[in-house]
Structure 1
């Protein structure tokens, strides 16, 4: 086996990094995952994830975790409403599509993956700040921690990965859209009218280029995202103080002043806001061919894309599926050959997913856009 006697280091304990470790371990691979989070209990902010039937779920199936995913995830419908809070239509799950892409909390998915790994696979509180070559191996350097070595490094640490510089010089690009994400604890109490509007489903509203997507069931928290074109006056800074909830509530109440009071109740009930300009890592340039030692990227570290096609985590799990099979399946004579084949495949399917996401982004920002035309 290519990795016999080799040490594999995965940087990042997100869904893709942990799935990669899970797919390698049963083949006897010595793999360690290094994660910057303090410990396994650290809450991962953000909305739920939905693993798609023919991509993300295939990786979970190979990992032997598909039933665990099904038993934890929630099949959800969609309530389409307008800015006045009028329900336009509802899309509910059917017995035929119940498990096509159910929603799962990010920490729940992490727990499923962690429970499938041997103890001590993940080293927490380990922020990787650089790599060096030392005696024919990678030396991983960490903030306030001792360095360690590995024969193969897999960067799975998200869109702002530092490991990426060793693989490609391509720069991250902003796409022109801004997302404000919010958390509302105990929504049935704190924003009951909006919670009832959701009616047990995800809620989607769009009006004149302003979009709202909310999920009332995210482990006791309602999570939502507000999506809009980045204003031209935000040249270098968005001017918003995300450490001051009241200022964000005031901004949203003004921007959405014509919307129903139930939406404003949602804003006022929010305990935590974060602002995110959407970004992507273009795949229009080849990666470095002169890498001195085996190293590659998976997930957002490899192909960051806007979240407007629901493809990010799913494409990343496909990465883990293909790369792990290449490294353990006996098809290749060298680690470099296994990595090269994976990257050639990834450039094709990830570019297609990026294109779909970008097309949806353009469509969603248009004044006449309706979620119903995209979903249906």
Structure 2
């Protein structure tokens, strides 16, 4: 079976627009909900919300590729690149690179796409990687660009991209298509359709030696932001990472055909889920702010440290709740002190408690987290 770029009508993807129409409508409605939710956050807290959401995306878009990052280093780098008051946490090269790229995607979303934009993102993302021949430019190697898995002596080839000498022409056509389907362009496409096609199209060219997945998801974010007229801040990578096998399966299947309606349906459902996740996280952020307004002044240092650690887990919190053993590990205190601290947190209404004895678990008391 040929790859999609070897099919005669490439890159004229075929799809049923009527199948996607209801998703497009839901996307626009949810975008308005997210805007309204963010307005509940005070101006002074919006910067921290941006950092929380952008750092989650930076962490997860890297995790999809099997790369684990230091969250505090990512957030420290984001603060610097957003021009906010820096903290003292050291910025590591890998984390600094992805943070710089995320901020660039966020702040330049409205600008047309250029080759130089892509080269800049690639250099930001991979300037630390000494293994690559070409950074900040399209791949040039003569070897086939393949996505493989399995044993080295018996690999399974999931996809083979166009040869390197085809890439400049393919990318010239891609950039022209991306800008020509923007909201005010002659061939404007609806938001989800354009973003879904932009991602599949880019991944099928696979123009760089490495980083194509992260750049392709950044392009989908840029496309969505252009269609709604502001940075989207939706948890796209966060949502994809939850089921990355389905993501890779969908890409692999649709890199062998130009009939992409099922891909667009899957992508649309993923974006709508990402919007719901974002609403949940904005609600969590608002509840967190109210929680600290109520309780911050009453915490001792140990309690403050444990509460901060619980919030760092996000809306899902500690799986199964915080145990006394967790508290001992976080605070490095005695069991008697831990028991007293936890009871105080329950009495003041900061935590709720379930279970008895060794099954006792503690949960952040965050009423009203729904938007």
Structures share a fold, TM > 0.5? no
Structure number having the greater strand percentage = 1
Structure of higher RCO (CA pairs closer than 8 Å, 6+ residues apart) = 1
Structure number having the greater helix percentage = 2
TM-score by length of 1: 0.27
